Structure 1
Amino acid sequence: MSIKEAVTSRGPKPETIAGHIRAAIIEHRLAPGAKLGEGQLCEVFGTKRGTVRQALALLAADRLVDLEPNRGAFVASPSLQDVHEVFEMRRIIELAVVERISSLRTRRLGAIREKIGREQKAFEGRNFPLWVRLSGEFHTELGRLTGNSVLCNCLDELVARSTLISALYESFGRSSCSYEEHEVILEAIEAGNTEVAVSLMSHHLQSVERKMLDRPSQGAADLREVFRNVE
């Protein structure tokens, strides 16, 4: 839904604003530590401070935004301990996901293969924001094949936090989440080779964690520029 479509006489809903900010974080258009000024957000989304504050509270609940008394809201800046804890949880959940869907021999993998193709095209076309988003969606879409909504909600949050971590510890245009590895994992799942698929996913997630670089990004951001192409 576009901003214009979501706007009523009272402005867009908090969930709509939160969704646009979340997308900007996931696509690395907003760096960790970036200040989310209420005034600019009100101007960008054509709404009141109360609505913006509700949106920021939603993002804070997902640990994507830090709310600091007397200072305002900032895109969260994960620590190295956060890196280890997030990826520990991802391994626990995603290895179980791969084991389950591989043993089921599900036929609903075509959309995920198509997504990997889009991921490769985004990389080759140097569309890095889209590439980053699609890399994360490979993992969340596998989770959806389990049909477990609670698991999906947990995985969505973990992948979003992983993307935030990569924005902090990796340079722009570089992602440790490889579409080539995604292809190999999917092939093992399609073949019903559960043991190999689980091993490949474990190695993939460990590799992603190791490649995080201890090099913080700059936190300055012009919110008008970040959201200028949002319709």
Structure 2
Amino acid sequence: MTSAKQPFNGMIVYQRLRRAILEQALLPGTRLREDAIGEQFGVSRTIVRQALVRLETEHLVETQRNRGSCVAEPSLDEAEQIFEIRHCLEGEVIRRLVDRISVIGLESLDSHVAHEARVQGKNGPASIRLAGEFHILLAELTGNKILANYVSELVTRCSLILAMYSRSHSSDCAVNEHRSIIQAIRDKDIKSAMTIMDHHLGAVQGRADLSGDEKDNLQSVLARYAEDPPA
């Protein structure tokens, strides 16, 4: 395992911060102090600032006057709009995949869901991240980079929404529904695939609720992400 005291470059700092946000270890509203991040990863504040700027372009981080950078806090109005657009775009993803997905693409999806199943019930943060990455992989397999970029942004922003507003839940349904989506695509059953995806996204959206969870300490969270991720 890589020591937390070893220096990191800007890309790794960006990737580790992004992963901590997507796994809901750094919750919306968490203040991202440049000095604390720099100390944890052994990099300059300039490198930290570059990573935060990149995360801000992805709407994962917000910079506020007199407060600095913090994990973004989407409003309920934004949440509703994001899910509305996500339903539309992921419906388009399904239509394209049913029409043209390759055998290799189906194997990639099967492999991803197998990974989801392996961490199910063992690693909550990883399950959260992998569930989102399944939808990003679907979009990438369409071969349309613009569509994939939009879906990726929406999925990552949904992670923030769920961190703020969702009730606790099991990942069992997500894994099973992901398998069902793959099977419907494999069978070229567009009606079934669209129905399952619509129900799946509706269930995710339906978990939205005001949450009173407390935020973890920034440095205690980043201590975990300064190490190499588990295999």
Q: TM-score, normalised by structure 1?
A: 0.88
In 1: Cα distance, 2:28 partner to 2:172 partner: 17
Within a 5 Å distance, the mapping from 1:21-40 to structure 2 comes to: 21-40=17-36
Which of 52, 67, 71 aligns to 2:67? It is 71
Contact 1:98 1:197 in 2 (8 A): yes
Superposed displacement of residue 175, structure 1: 5.2
217-226 or 142-151, larger mean C-alpha shift: 217-226
| Structure 2 residue 159 is the aligned partner of structure 1 residue 155 | no
Secondary structure of the corresponding residue to residue 118 of structure 2: helix
Which of 164, 171, 179 aligns to 1:168? It is 164
The one-letter code of the counterpart of 1:140 is: I
Within a 5 Å distance, the mapping from 1:6-45 to structure 2 comes to: 7=7, 12-13=9-10, 15-45=11-41
Superposed displacement of residue 220, structure 1: 4.4
Q: TM-score, normalised by structure 2?
A: 0.88
Contact 2:40 2:222 in 1 (8 A): no
Superposed displacement of residue 226, structure 1: 2.7
Which of 222, 225, 231 aligns to 1:226? It is 222
In 2: Cα distance, 1:3 partner to 1:92 partner: 44
1:59-111, CA deviations, whole angstroms, 9 ceiling, x for partnerless residues? 11111111011111111111111211111111111100101111225312112
Which of 84, 87, 111 aligns to 2:83? It is 87
Superposed displacement of residue 215, structure 1: 1.4
The one-letter code of the counterpart of 1:92 is: C
Where do 4+ consecutive residues of structure 1 move more than 4 Å? 171-177
In 1: Cα distance, 2:221 partner to 2:215 partner: 14
In 1: Cα distance, 2:63 partner to 2:209 partner: 25
1:53 equivalent in structure 2: 49
In 2: Cα distance, 1:184 partner to 1:100 partner: 17
Which of 131, 136, 152 aligns to 1:135? It is 131
Alpha carbons of structure 1 residues 192 and 186: separation in structure 2 relative to 1, 3 Å: same
Secondary structure of the corresponding residue to residue 228 of structure 1: helix
RMSD: 2.2
1:209 equivalent in structure 2: 205
Alpha carbons of structure 1 residues 81 and 69: separation in structure 2 relative to 1, 3 Å: same
137-146 or 168-177, larger mean C-alpha shift: 168-177
* Identical pairs, percent: 33
Alpha carbons of structure 1 residues 228 and 220: separation in structure 2 relative to 1, 3 Å: closer
